[in-house]
Amino acid sequence: MSKEFVTRFAPSPTGFMHIGNLRTALYAFLLARANNGKFILRIEDTDQERLVEGAVDVIYSTLEMTGMTHDEGPDIGGPNGPYVQSERKDIYMKYAKELVEKGGAYYCFCSKERLEKLHEDGDLGAGYDRHCRNLPKEEVEKNLAAGMPFVIRQKMPLEGSTGYDDSVFGHIEIENAEMQDQILIKADGFPTYNFCHVIDDHLMGVTHVVRGSEYLTSTPKYVLLYDAFGWERPVYCHLPLLMGKDADGNVSKLSKRHGSVSFQELVKNGYLPQAIINYMAFTGWCPKDTNEEFFTIDELTKVFSIDGISKSPAVFDYEKLLWFNNHYIKEMPLDEFMAKAKPYYSEEYAAFADNEKLAKLIQTRISVFPEVNEKAEFVKGLPDYDTELFVNKKNKTTIEQCADIIEYSLPKLKDVSDWSNDTLFELLKGIAEEKGVKAGAVMWAIRIGVSGLAVTPGGATELMEILGKDESIKRLETSLEKIRN
């Protein structure tokens, strides 16, 4: 019988979701779903000094917005709870004591002063000289009975080496002598990450540990813990580094100077969760046997596999993210687009936020929501533009000729009763024939005359339909006057 696949996402509640963590969550989620397994959410909050108010809600809302549903977690419970590490303190202490019994750990009573002095005097760095490693049992018991403060340290083997096979990076082997007798339980009774995540992963039945490559070389310490307890090691799946492109063309670890690095900020800046997820899936993984790039999260669960993960650093490309976002914006039903775009309109365009025709023009032309404003610029009013705009090589237009076209068109436009794109288009085409010029020339003259902008999200007649008859005519009259004076 094949074993159940269990993965987990184990964020520390920092108050924002770094996109590197989002990718970790995504790959862990996809791996579980692709194998009909379970995906657990666990909150790693043992660093009590770094707790941030509301930070756990950020985690829940990210998972919800992206569609990463978990099967067990603090909010929904499950058979292996509690799922918040600070609520599991007693469990860790029990296992730490058990590990001492088994010979894999020891009590350390060194005072802060002694350790500080050690670091000042010697070349141990932040290391420890293993002073308490071989304290006689009686002395340990006496100290404990006297209520002396202690930490519990992992007893690293002094010789040989420890290795494991990472499913992305291959075999990793570290000399035991290089590994510190790291602290497992701190003086305040809280465990360190190094200890509690191992206990939890084991107790929660995690079969595949998916996480960032910063843990790649510390994992030998963790497998030693599994071995000391006599537990089966999980499969490790460390993810490639996430880099950003620097201004000089080099790459460095993805950080704020490359752009927004939190999911919340990206969403606030007008990126869609489904676009972020689709792009994130490709930052370190790609599907086999297809060049397809667009995948919903459900589709990803069908094609995701560990062997598609690359160990080379992935560069987070903001341009590519824009491209994905543009795709998902274009695909939205119009009403959904309008609802999503509405909050991004600045005050001067707010009155047009519910205009369906404007929304239709804009929807296909933006990559990210705040761009609605630059696209809507033509509704604001006729700017004080340079009449050179009327000169267009392709349509062979001159300023004078445009003035003539506008003058000729104005009375005909005033006669239009059905002010619609189609009617206006037919009318302008007819005018071109009457004047013996290309339709493009008339469209150009009217478009510039009505907008005063070189670039607009639609043609002359589309703009006029949105602006309405009175406003369009008023603008054309103003433009005509502008040229003639």
Enumerate binding residues for ligand GLU (CB under 6 A).
10-12, 44, 197, 211, 215
Task: Compute the least distance from the CB of residue 295 to ligand GLU, in Å.
Answer: 24
User: Smallest distance from the beta carbon of 210 to ligand GLU, in angstroms?
Assistant: 7
Return the number of the residue (200 or 462) whose C-beta is nearest ligand GLU.
200
Whether 256 is catalytic: yes
* Alpha carbon distance 213, 189 (integer Å): 28
Determine contact, residues 244/253, Cβ cutoff 8 Å.
yes
Residues paired with 163 in a beta bridge: 173
Helix residue ranges, H only, 83-206: 89-102, 112-121, 137-145, 193-203
Task: Give the separation between CA 288 and CA 284, rounded to whole angstroms.
Answer: 13
Nearest approach, Cβ of residue 274 and ligand GLU (Å) = 24
Of 230, 5, 200, give the one whose Cα is nearest residue 92: 200
Report the residue number, 200 or 465, with the smaller CB distance to ligand GLU.
200
Residue among 215 and 318 whose Cβ is closer to ligand GLU: 215
Least separation, in Å, of the C-beta of 101 and ligand GLU?
26
Which of residues 82 and 370 has its CB atom nearest to ligand GLU in the complex? 82
Nearer to ligand GLU, 66 or 461 (CB): 66
Please spell the DSSP secondary structure of 52-104, one letter per residue: -TTHHHHHHHHHHHHT---SBBTTTB-TT---BGGGGHHHHHHHHHHHHHHTS
Q: In what helix (H) or strand (E) does residue 476 lie, and over which residues does it extend?
A: helix 469-484
State the CB neighbour count (10 A cutoff) for residue 175: 11
| Residue 239 C-beta: closest distance to ligand GLU, Å | 10
d(CA 45, CA 371): 39
Q: How far is the CB of 214 from ligand GLU (least distance, A)?
A: 7
What is the end-to-end Cα distance of the chain in Å, rounded? 88
Instruction: Report CA 435 to chain centroid distance, whole Å.
Output: 56
C-alpha 273/C-alpha 266 separation (Å) is 9
Indicate the length of the chain as a whole number: 485
Residue from 102, 253, 256, 330 carrying the catalytic annotation:
256
When the beta carbons of 59 and 303 are compared against ligand GLU, the nearer one is 59
Strand pairing category for 183-185 and 151-154: antiparallel
The two tokens of residue 324 are: 């994905």
Annotated catalytic residues are 256
